[in-house]
Structure 1
Amino acid sequence: MTPTPRPPGSYRPSTASGRRKVAVVGAALADCGRVDGTTAYALHAQAARRAVADSGLDREVIDGFASAGLGTLAPVEVAEYLGLRPVWVDSTSVGGSTWEVMAAHAADAIAAGHANAVLLVYGSTARADIKAGRRTGDLSFGARGPLQYEVPYGHTLVAKYAMAARRHMHQYGTTLEQLASVAVQARANAAANPEAMFRDPVTVDDVLSGPMIADPFTKLHCCVRSDGGAAVLLAAEEYVRDCRTAPVWILGTGEHVSHTTMSEWADFTVSPAAVSGRLAFRRAGLRPDEMDLAEIYDAFTYMTLVTLEDLGFCAKGEGGAFVEKGRLTLRGDLPVNTDGGGLSAQHPGMRGLFLLVEAVRQLRGEAGEGRQVRRPDGGLPRLAVASGTGGWFCSAGTVVLGRG
């Protein structure tokens, strides 16, 4: 039986800290990949309906809403489209890490009693817009404010990531082959995912011999361009018993912003995940080496490598060696981007929410035959980390999740 919706703040927590525990109780994707003949609003709605249905809760329980990237008054316009009238909202917009940051804000709000259940949702027709010739902006990100001093030099988003990768190669000896192996392993994981856009295997040579996009990145070093949507529903602990599926608890979160202009970035080899990850693990009372899997934002291969370093899975400068020899595959020591990631599965504009959906599916044991991660003893994974990156390493949000 679905619990009767309560006014936010009406529940008295049983925990000694006076804060409620918070869980992801619903997670789902909208149609992804090549999706023509629809709108971003429709993808928001599809993902939202599926996530709420996944939870088993009544939509009337939802009193919080978070969204970014669509609408004149985001998230008001999208909430109206979905028929929601929330008492708590968040429209934080910090690029691809937005939804990890939103999840942290939502979890804090629920824990404090300001909301009972918060829906996070995203949808984009990024691929279809390009195909149809609809203008969606450029990747130089404007010429006003501080960015105006870089735009004349032609720094696009991909060029900024490429510059950072080159610095890591120069400083630590990281090789093109090591970066390419990230793309190879992402494609290997995608091969087991029927929802992935690209599933055919690739080799290191395939990556290295592809057309150059921004030195040192060839085409396969870069994420795919897709359509799609995703949603997760977070709820307070007292709603968990009425949910259809097992809860995945939010154990710790962290967020950090770094820079927008490249001249203000102190070290091209350190991402803001170095701070957000440290905060998230500390607040969870856990260590990186206790994680069973990691979902990491991977618009480019270098993002995966440097984020693994900064989250503490290996020492600074050792990321190249760490990602070699199949370590990131579904049967590797640390499965990373188990759906194929942005490099092979889907990347509809911003991918942060997809990291959370995939982590939840894996922890629930719902990833499907051939893709489900297992612990060395054969059991289901218990702990996962999802870490999003926004802009050109401008922001990071990290969430540690646990089952049981």
Structure 2
Amino acid sequence: MIGVRGAAAVVGVADEVSPDGVIDVPLRELEARVVRAALDDAGLTLRDVDGLCTCTGGTLMHSVELTEYLGIAPRFTDSTQTGGASYGLYVEHAAAAIAAGEAETVVIVYASTPRAARKRGEKGLGVFATPERLEWETPYGVMLPISAYALAANRHMGVYGTTPEQLARIAVDTRDWATRNPRAYQRDPITVDDVLTSGYLAEPMHKLECCLVTDGAGAIVVTSAERARDLAKPPAYVLGAASAASHASISQMPDLTVTPGAVSGPAAFSMAGLTPDAVDVVELYDSFTITVLLALEDLGFCKKGEGGPFVGSGALAPGGELPGQTTGGGLAYTHPGAFGAFLLVESVRQLRGECDDRQVAGAQVALAHGTGGVLSATSTVILGTEATR
């Protein structure tokens, strides 16, 4: 994968959210809207697209079905499903396909409308209702996904002395970013005490430490570095990208305090030829506060076991050592079920300097890190304003 570094760039991004969390339109329409918006952002059209990646339609051939709906016939498609890690994985695969000459312009798209479906009285099948979980976990009162993350948080607290106040600070700092984002679903500031008194959903996870359930969509356009130089917006070059997975069921996680990010993170940094010190802004999947803390450790921003003091210092807050989740994240901005695409959209906007009150000054390197399943899979993407750094 060494030849992939700097060979591709993200040239268009778009996302769609709603002030009340509901976007009550057919899924295909929402997907098409956000795809066209991302292409418009890049100064491209559907005629330029020869690759498409998506996995969220609930059918086996979703990427093919979507290309039919859009009226295109791409030579490269990918429907690999690793939950919230899928979209960083797609950037990795798209960059590799572009470097190999198998595609030139790839669109990555995600859309989901769980709140609108709930209003219509629809019931999903439950993505966690696998035969293994139904046999070995559900009978023991496991409520997924939150119970799995609560297990990880309890273990981290027990082994490393991480405190509820430190985890709560992640939610507080994330909400601070949301107050600066007029599109965020939750914009009222909160305190550590607010988090700790919001009630447990699965001890030690409090309500305000758990992601939203909203409707939303996002799209990312990836093309060759050569073509990117002549398009509408400054490119965000793919410097490093890697993915990893370690388990499906939380009962099979090798170590509740170590995620696959311990593999994907170092691999992405190695490809990029960078270290964590080079990163100006991080967009970490914040399905729960513990997800963020584990990612920071596994990616190398702090040592294993030191995540609590690190986040407790306000490192992720506006003006902090490592600004993170600058939209307000899945905790306060939006969370339609998989937040990975939105991490990439915001990373690109930060590198372009388009984020107004939440802009991280001088951001030149951004890291987007998705997590899928129950800490099961990760994808790490490092983007930069220059093809070589």
Shorter-chain TM-score bucket reads over 0.9
Q: Name the residue aligned to 1:306.
A: 294
TM-superposition CA deviations, 1:247-268 (whole Å, max 9, x none): 0000011110110123321110
One-letter amino acid of the counterpart of residue 16, structure 2: A
User: Contact between 1:20 and 1:112, CA under 8 Å: does it hold in 2?
Assistant: no
2:202 corresponds, among 205, 208, 214, to 214
TM-superposition CA deviations, 1:45-72 (whole Å, max 9, x none): 1110110000012321110000011053
Q: Does 2:12 match 1:26? A: yes
Q: How does 1:81-96 map to 2 (within 5 A)?
A: 81-96=69-84
2:175 corresponds, among 163, 187, 190, to 187
For the structure 1 residues 81 and 166, does the alpha-carbon distance in structure 2 shift closer, same or farther, using more than 3 Å as the test?
same
Counterpart-to-counterpart distance in 2, 1:317 and 1:134: 42
Q: Name the residue aligned to 2:328.
A: 340
TM-superposition CA deviations, 1:112-137 (whole Å, max 9, x none): 10000000001110122223321023
Counterpart-to-counterpart distance in 2, 1:357 and 1:396: 17
User: Contact between 2:4 and 2:96, CA under 8 Å: does it hold in 1?
Assistant: no
Q: Name the residue aligned to 2:359.
A: 372
Counterpart-to-counterpart distance in 1, 2:138 and 2:67: 35
Runs of 4+ in structure 1 off by over 3 angstroms are 16-20
Counterpart-to-counterpart distance in 2, 1:347 and 1:17: 34
Q: Does 2:122 match 1:142? A: no
Give 1:20 deviation, angstroms. 7.4
How many residues were matched structurally?
Answer: 382
Q: Name the residue aligned to 2:24.
A: 37
One-letter amino acid of the counterpart of residue 383, structure 1: V
Give 1:36 deviation, angstroms. 3.8
Q: Does 2:35 match 1:53? A: no
User: Contact between 2:41 and 2:232, CA under 8 Å: does it hold in 1?
Assistant: yes
Q: Name the residue aligned to 2:371.
A: 389
One-letter amino acid of the counterpart of residue 21, structure 1: A
Q: How does 1:1-400 map to 2 (within 5 A)?
A: 21-32=7-18, 34-72=21-59, 73-138=61-126, 141-145=128-132, 148-155=135-142, 156-368=144-356, 370-374=357-361, 380-400=362-382
For the structure 1 residues 57 and 166, does the alpha-carbon distance in structure 2 shift closer, same or farther, using more than 3 Å as the test?
same
User: Contact between 1:71 and 1:78, CA under 8 Å: does it hold in 2?
Assistant: no
3-state SS, counterpart of residue 96 of structure 1? helix
For structure 2, the residue ranges without an aligned partner over 5 or more in a row are none
3-state SS, counterpart of residue 75 of structure 1? helix
3-state SS, counterpart of residue 35 of structure 2? helix
One-letter amino acid of the counterpart of residue 395, structure 1: A
Identity rate, percent: 47
Counterpart-to-counterpart distance in 2, 1:300 and 1:17: 35
TM (normalized to structure 1)?
A: 0.91
For the structure 1 residues 143 and 373, does the alpha-carbon distance in structure 2 shift closer, same or farther, using more than 3 Å as the test?
closer
Give 1:26 deviation, angstroms. 0.3
Counterpart-to-counterpart distance in 2, 1:54 and 1:387: 23
Higher helix share: 2
Counterpart-to-counterpart distance in 1, 2:40 and 2:203: 45
3-state SS, counterpart of residue 331 of structure 1? coil
TM-superposition CA deviations, 1:135-167 (whole Å, max 9, x none): 02336x124146522221122210010011000
One-letter amino acid of the counterpart of residue 51, structure 2: G
